[in-house]
Amino acid sequence: MNVQLVGFDKFSIEIRDHINKICARLLDKYKKMFDEKSIKAFKLSADKLRERGDHSLFEIKCYLETSHGLFYAVHSDWKVLDAVERVEEEILKQIIEKKERLKGGKK
């Protein structure tokens, strides 16, 4: 499995540790629903969109490529951790929907 975290090097160690925990939590939830071997790649990237005073607006993109399909989410927020948590929620929602479709016999 290829895991990439891009653009987070400018954040504090505490924030990066928290982001790593969020990513690990998401991947663990995926592994409980599907086989770990079905994960091909995971990428989480952060881009600074603009600055206002001493605050920055960040765009977080998350890609989870699996043998069951590509799960993708984007969210922007002034607080990077809030944006990361929102993309985690969106990806998890997509994973659950995919699991339900597969249970129902649909792909």
Give the number of domains in the chain: 1
> Quick check: helix, strand or coil at residue 35?
coil
pLDDT at 106: 63
Find the CATH number of the domain harbouring 38. 3.30.160.100
73 vs 2 pLDDT, higher one: 73
Residue 107: predicted pLDDT: 59
CA distance 17 to 1: 20
What domain range includes position 72? 2-103
In this prediction, residues 7-14 reach a mean pLDDT of 93
Report residue 33's pLDDT band, with 50, 70 and 90 as the boundaries: confident
Strand partners of residue 49: none
pLDDT in tens, 63-100: 999 998 999 999 999 999 999 999 999 999 999 999 99
Using CA of residue 1, residue 59, residue 73, residue 21, what is the dihedral sign? positive
Q: Which residues have CB under 8 Å from 34's CB, separation 6+?
A: 66, 68, 95, 99
Whether pTM > 0.85 for this model: the answer is yes
Question: Would you say residue 57 has pLDDT above 70?
Answer: yes
